[in-house]
Amino acid sequence: MSPTRRALRLQLTLGLVFTAVCGVGVATGAWGSEGHPEPTAASRTGSGSSADVLGAGGGSAAVGDRWAADYTPEEFAAYSEELDGHYVGVGLWVVGSPQGQVRVSRALPKGPAGLADVRAGDRLLEVGGVPVTGMPVTEVVALLRGGAAGRVGSPVALLLQRGSEVRLVALRRAVLDEDDVRVDHPENGVTRISMDAFTAGVSEQVQAAVHQAQLHPAKDGRGILLDLRGNSGGLVSEAVATASAFLDGGKVALYQPEGGGPRQVLTAARGGDTATPLVVLVDGGTMSAAELVTGALRDRGRAVVVGRPTFGKGAVQQPQTLSDGMVQEHTVGNYLTPSGGSPDGQGVQPDVLVPPGANPQAAEDTALTVLDDLSGGNGQ
């Protein structure tokens, strides 16, 4: 183990005690992707079908429902496509800094931006002539998507800076796959599963990655890092199936309908991997269905959660078509973690807290050090 990781392990031993005694405020998410521009829409837990919201009944949106949202038929159709794993955009993920700068964190290699040589690390100055420095990431993403005007083939110009070079890139939006699950190996014996959202089919990709991790020889298999930073949520069914990859039956979450009524239990499928060491990495951009998975794995003692407090959305929404054709999304209930705690307004608290302002690599190093402890490995 390197001296840096050894020192970090000592800090973590002290930090576990400190975190248990001190309260922590909810961090503000600074991550965003074109596929999931609005917390009130894309982070909704339980969208896409009545089964995903556990058969909750409809009704008009309650006064004071902070998650309520109205869509034109075209906007809702576009959002439904996103949950199916597709969206219209240029293929960029962006991240904001405390100083207000907006930078590209990832570009789809075959997306319009990637093909125009837009790269991770590029600073985004303007979208369509609108300066974005200091703008919330969700608004930047909305500009990249183009709103109702953001149709396939619609133009958008990006002003970017790389080092001292500033250039204007003219792009046209296209239909893109979400690419919501990525698997890599940051260190020997470590499988990192990064998830941006819980769209249709992501749980099968996670289950396949877990199966592959199990095939590593015992001496090399240090464990799995489930990276849910910036994950904007999505379908309840996919969240439950993802949690099931790491559990052998039992509770994933409890669902409490609005206005009372009996709680319903979301249950994991049997036969998941309960042996491989697991760390879940989260931040203030970990929302909704991603918080459901995080809370389940933490409460069940299946994983150690590392990072910053999550976003704090435990509400479940259901869409309803109105007489004028508009679609209204309103809260129909709330979910609780297996122990009965609610993430709404406070988020899921990490077992190991990463200091505010720590860069993504520092958070990942902390997670890998915790994974070493769980697996009894020596690290790299």
- For residue 186, what pLDDT is reported? 92
| Same domain? 47 vs 123 | no
- For residue 50, what pLDDT is reported? 22
Q: Give the alpha-carbon dihedral of 13, 18, 24, 29, to 10 degrees.
A: -20
Cα distances from 65 to residues 24, 40, 62, 68, in angstroms, run 25, 11, 5, 5
| Same domain? 70 vs 167 | no
| Same domain? 62 vs 202 | yes
- For residue 203, what pLDDT is reported? 94
Q: Which of 257-261's residues contact partners 24+ apart within 8 Å by CB, and which partners?
A: 257/56, 257/57, 257/332, 257/333, 258/56, 258/62, 258/331, 258/332, 258/333, 258/334
Pick 269 or 109 by higher pLDDT: 269
The domain boundary, picked from 177, 212, 231, lies at 177
Task: Tell whether the model's pLDDT for residue 376 goes beyond 70.
Answer: yes
For the stretch 293-307, pLDDT in tens is: 999 999 999 999 999
Give the CA diameter of the chain: 65
| Same domain? 74 vs 135 | no
Burial of 11 (0-12, 13-18, 19+ CB in 10 A): middle
| Same domain? 154 vs 185 | no
| Same domain? 73 vs 199 | yes
Mean pLDDT of the 169-181 span:
84
Task: Tell whether the model's pLDDT for residue 175 goes beyond 90.
Answer: no
- Which two structure tokens, joined as six digits, stand for 143? 């500009």
Task: Tell whether the model's pLDDT for residue 31 goes beyond 90.
Answer: no
| Same domain? 213 vs 326 | yes
Instruction: Say how many residues make up the chain.
Output: 380
For the stretch 348-375, pLDDT in tens is: 999 999 998 788 889 999 999 999 999 8
| Same domain? 164 vs 185 | no
Mean pLDDT across the chain, nearest whole number? 79
| Same domain? 321 vs 219 | yes
Amino acid at 173: R
Q: How many CA atoms lie within 13 A of 3 on its CB side?
A: 0
**Domain at 59, CATH number:** 3.90.226.10
The domain boundary, picked from 127, 157, 177, lies at 177
pLDDT band at 250 (very low <50, low <70, confident <90, very high): very high
Q: Which of 158, 68, 97 is nearest to 358 (CA)?
A: 97
Tell me the residue range of the domain where 166 lies.
89-177
The domain boundary, picked from 137, 156, 177, lies at 177
- Which two structure tokens, joined as six digits, stand for 291? 């918080």
Distance CA 171, CA 190 (A): 37
- For residue 329, what pLDDT is reported? 84
**Partners of 227 in beta bridges:** 194, 281
Task: Tell whether the model's pLDDT for residue 132 goes beyond 80.
Answer: yes
Whether pTM > 0.75 for this model: the answer is: no
**Domain at 96, CATH number:** 2.30.42.10
For the stretch 284-341, pLDDT in tens is: 889 899 999 999 999 999 999 999 999 898 988 888 888 888 888 888 999 999 999 9
Task: Tell whether the model's pLDDT for residue 245 goes beyond 70.
Answer: yes
Task: Tell whether the model's pLDDT for residue 106 goes beyond 60.
Answer: yes
| Same domain? 106 vs 134 | yes
Q: Which of 161, 198, 192, 206 is nearest to 178 (CA)?
A: 198
| Same domain? 171 vs 184 | no
Structurally, the chain folds into a number of domains equal to: 2
| Same domain? 245 vs 333 | yes
